[in-house]
Amino acid sequence: MTTLSILYDRLRWEEKELSEKATELGVTVKVIDAKALKLDSHADTGLQQTFGDIALQRCISYFRGLHLSAYLESAGQRIVNSYKTAHICGNKVLTTLALRRAGVPTPRTMISFTAEAALESAEALGYPVVLKPVVGSWGRMVVPLRNRETAAGMVEMREQMNGLMSQIYYVQEMVDKPDRDIRGIVVGDQVVSVNYRYAPPGEWRTNVARGGRSEPCSLNKELEEVLLKAARAVDGGILGVDCMESKDGYVVHEVNNTVEFRGAASVSRNDIAKAMIQYVLEQAKR
């Protein structure tokens, strides 16, 4: 019998769902709070006792999950997703570069390191543009810059912030798209669900965490190929691929490493959590 650990820092609906599905599939589940772990560099053998045959990393905190993955992977513990995938997906600069390198259509983005260069990047792209934190989620601090005054003000505010990455500027062309975007959930080499996300009233971002509404969407060949290619570009695993419908076709703007899927599950015909657990079990056998 396989033993699976689910590593979390806050138990959401998703972790409970995954844990229930795994139990249903006859797996022994250990739900482990990453906040209580004390990882010893010199006691990194026999970890299977604690973490089971395979670990599913589901921390909300990118940096917490990343360091935990690094430790476990380096100790030879099987873990989903890989450290590499977590590393790329948690950082929008690295994601953009990986997508671009793999030939996945993605919005044009300028990366710069000072307020002055950031403002020049916005001008070079042409307003409106979108300024995003390099590390972040739930649409937090993702801001549309519609003119020079606002751009200069936002960049000035970022200059005053103390975050480790506050002065790495990620400025992206604003994609001309309908009031929705598309969330695909990729598990291994399969798209297990795809749905539209509509922004709530008075909001331009579609994040479910901001009140975005999930609606069914049907999968076509082109969309499937883009979603799978994006997942491969970040080294694969269990992923939430976000894309937009631009005038020139689909463009992928983000790949999520510890994907939330409550919204997707509410409109999907497939059992998303079950597909995820089955994938993890396959990985445990490899």
Ligand X SMILES: Nc1ncnc2c1ncn2[C@@H]1O[C@H](COP(=O)(O)OP(=O)(O)O)[C@@H](O)[C@H]1O
State the nearest-atom distance from the C-beta of 175 to ligand X, in Å.
Answer: 4
Among 175, 230, 264, 276, contact with ligand X (rule: CB under 6 A): 175
Distance CA 272, CA 171 (A): 33
Site for Mg ion, rule CB under 5 A: 242, 254
Q: What is the DSSP letter of 177?
A: -
272-285 helix and 13-24 helix, angle to the nearest 10 degrees:
60
> Do 143 and 122 meet the contact criterion of CB atoms below 8 Å apart?
no
Choose the binding region for ligand X from 50-58, 116-124, 169-177, 230-238 (rule: CB under 6 A). Answer: 169-177
Q: Does 89 bind ligand X (CB under 6 A)?
A: no
Least distance to ligand X, CB of residue 256, Å: 7
Site string for ligand X, 246-285 (x = CB under 6 A): -------xx-------------------------------
**Rule CB under 6 A: is residue 139 a binding residue for ligand X?**
yes
Which of 182, 276 has the CB closer to Mg ion?
Answer: 182
Please give the full DSSP string across 194-231, using - where no structure is assigned: EEEEEPPTT-S---GGGT-EEEE----HHHHHHHHHHH
Q: At what angle do helices 148-160 and 115-125 cross, to 10 degrees?
A: 150
| Residue 17 sits in the site that holds ligand X (CB under 6 A) | no
d(CA 28, CA 50): 12
Minimum CB–partner distance for residue 145 and ligand X (Å):
11
Whole-angstrom distance, CA of residue 40 vs CA of residue 45: 10
Closest by CA position to 263, among listed 242, 237, 245: 242
| 136 contributes a contact to ligand X by CB under 6 A | yes
Among 5, 81, 137, 283, binds ligand X (CB under 6 A): 137
Element spanning 242, H or E: strand 238-246
Find which of ligand X, Mg ion, none residue 121 binds, CB within 5 to 8 Å per kind.
none
- List residues near ligand X by CB under 6 A: 107, 130, 132, 136-140, 142, 172, 174-175, 181, 205-207, 242, 253-254
